[in-house]
A and B are shown apart, each in its own frame.
Chain A
């Protein structure tokens, strides 16, 4: 019997980065197949290849036993592949029915769009899925759960054979998850093949029958769900040696520098309290979307929060005022260096001196000459490779861009440096250079709050790991206690008090 969908040894590189280095996946009709792995393991890339968004560089791709090669998402749809994303992309101004039939509306004999038929078909689809959604309402303002249902209805109306759900439950509430799982089972019973991507092992184990683990862009193992335990899956997901990659220096840990108490922003994070001491590297770990960056951004003041306090070296940091946080000695290396860290079409000097513009000024006035000193000094200290100080940031490599952002913030001489994804998208060599820099920085007594989606980086760098799950701190692990398993467990499981309920 041929399988519904088969991928073997699929490879894909983006520039110099290998996103997939031999991915395998075998999906059968009438099955719900879990695809799990850490952030960056290659799950999403694999889904995008199946969905026709990316072409593959190598490997086999069979659908119903026949080799296929999708040129576009439309091509994939035509072959019966449907992808339901975590955040569906409906047209907010169109109605539910129009969204389902966009681009293929039924027509009346006179050539007008047959609204009655569209409405009837939509009602039939939604009732088949056991949900009630008014076909005439605009998509704007629908819950994410309802939007996903509409995407699924669309997939069914397109006769999809393969339905891929990419972290569909990440933004859903308990009841909505139940409803979605019911629909997934129904689709399975109708003979469709479902790929279910989730970080929540409770759901995976309840819903799926088969599980494939990926790591570092590679296939690791496929098992029947009944044959494996959560612990075994976690081991497969993270199993690699960590220690030798990150040569962390010992630093003396001093007084409390940052004190965050009961920080809350409704729907984003709740009652978050933690401290960071001088010389300490504290990592916020957790899944993408858990709220780590949001917490850090609120602490720095780029985002608002509703209640709680942030104290730096004994002084209260005003809410939503980055300039005040900076004056008190906070620095922030943001997640997206192109949009948030740098002015891409400005020179290295302009970028390095932007955050210290007030300090550079003499009697209130700044000249390029005054900026040159600190720009040159910090570019040199971080060994930024650039032709000149007025070379635009956009012309530098990713690693050098990140060094410029680090230089910009080190120049502010911070007491606390928040670093969000310090090594995202930069080459391995620069990566370890950045790690060394962060470690040295802590060695000089700076408190470091780091966010990273790369578990090895977290384990290698952190003195303490704070695990965030759905906006709450679910783990506070010392360096000794933090292992891939304990962090992953805290990141994917409900905190103890929730279990108790």
Chain B
């Protein structure tokens, strides 16, 4: 006779699972920074010239969209650091095509397709050829940026129809929420569902946890990675088009360094840089955290160089924290399993 048991779903109590996760900690941190800024920085709420909640969101949105597919790539244990350059090339080609008389929507679609093709080359080199994604996308970061700056030279295209550019910058009537946020929310839902609520997403995490186990479980590891690199390229190029319209400025240097901010946001948000764990929500909250910190720094009048220093430090610190946490939990495992 065997005793019928039904297992508990979770080992740890609800409050620990909810409050001790990186997402929760980051939300506390965001609230803390906002409160401290309100108290400590004069004009934080009414800065000159008009740095509003809407501006904060508009500034954050390119990174927030970029990090969506990138989170899935990192969850498989790979990385794509060419996204900033793909953004730049998309911006440049969009401007060039538009200037050459191609209708605006067609120019946009073609630019996004170019981004997808670059993503496909990344995916091909990583999966079929079997090169490390870090090396491949570093190469692509330089190569694509070179092309982006090269095709437009030192000029930039700014002659986009004002009605289009002002619409891209506008907010949903009666709210401070820009339309671009709607684009982000839609994409976030798509990628969030894909990662957390589909068999494909289960495969993504399985690859990050152990690609051999994933392969033995019927996950097509190469196909999954290839799809993700293509999605990353497409998305980065889409951001390039939107970014160009948002600032009415097509130039090859657009999106410079965005990959660093996106990766920082993702890792801060608790997605393991080794793959296998994390949530898309965490990555998004990470992006909002960086935007909040940036806003405070900008209102304080601290320049971009300091922001780079802070972003870089945040990336390293979050990786250190994650690995320290994993060492601690391994130790705990060893002691508990010994008893």
Contact = CB atoms under 8 A, between A and B. Distances in A.
A binds B: yes
Interface of A: 302, 321-323, 325-326, 332, 334, 339-346, 348-350, 353-355, 357-358, 360-361, 364-368, 372, 375-376, 379-380, 383, 386-392, 394-395, 397, 408
Nearest to B210: A343
Contacts of A349: 9
Contacts of A353: 202
Size category, B interface: 20 to 34
Contacts of B4: 380
B198 A361 contact: yes
Contacts of A361: 198-199
Contacts of A325: 218
A355 B206 CA distance: 10
Contact of B218 (A323, A340, A348, A389): A323
B213 A343 contact: yes
Given A383-B2, A394-B333, A366 B199 contact: yes
B163 interface: no
Contacts of A365: 193, 197-198
A345 B5 CA distance: 24
Interface string B204-216: 0110011011111
Contacts of A391: 11
For the complex of A and B, the 10 pairs showing the least CB-CB separation, nearest first, are A343-B209, A323-B218, A388-B11, A357-B199, A388-B8, A357-B202, A326-B218, A355-B217, A354-B217, A322-B218
Contacts of B333: 392, 394-395
Contacts of B277: 345
Contacts of B15: none
Given A322-B218, A361-B199, A365-B197, A341 B9 contact: no
Contacts of A394: 333
A195 B214 CA distance: 42
Q: Which residue, B8, B205, B213, B214, has most C-beta atoms of chain A within 10 A? A: B213
Contacts of A408: 217
B165 interface: no
Given A350-B202, A354-B213, A390-B10, 20 more contacts: A323-B219, A332-B216, A340-B213, A341-B213, A342-B213, A343-B209, A343-B210, A343-B214, A345-B209, A354-B214, A354-B217, A357-B199, A365-B197, A375-B7, A380-B5, A389-B8, A392-B333, A394-B333, A395-B336, A408-B217
A280 B199 CA distance: 33
Interface in B315-339: 333, 336-337
Contacts of B337: 395, 397
Query: Among A357, A388, A395, which residue has the most Cβ atoms of chain B within 10 A?
Result: A357
B216 A340 contact: yes
Contact of B276 (A334, A340, A345): A345
8 contacts: A322-B215, A322-B217, A340-B216, A341-B213, A350-B202, A360-B199, A394-B333, A395-B333
Contact of A346 (B203, B209, B215): B209
A380 B7 contact: yes
A343 to B, nearest CB: 4
Interface of B: 2, 4-11, 193, 197-199, 201-203, 205-206, 209-210, 212-220, 276-277, 333, 336-337
Contacts of B193: 365
Contact of B7 (A360, A376, A395): A376
B199 A367 contact: no
Contact of A302 (B205, B215, B336): B215
Contacts of A389: 7-10
B336 A388 contact: no
B43 to A, nearest CB: 46
A211 B274 CA distance: 50
Contacts of B7: 348, 375-376, 379-380, 386, 388-389
A293 to B, nearest CB: 12
A390 B11 contact: yes
A365 B202 CA distance: 11
Nearest to B4: A380
B209 A344 contact: yes
Nearest to A387: B11
Contacts of A388: 7-11
Contacts of B8: 387-389
Contact of B212 (A339, A364, A386): A339
Contacts of A379: 7
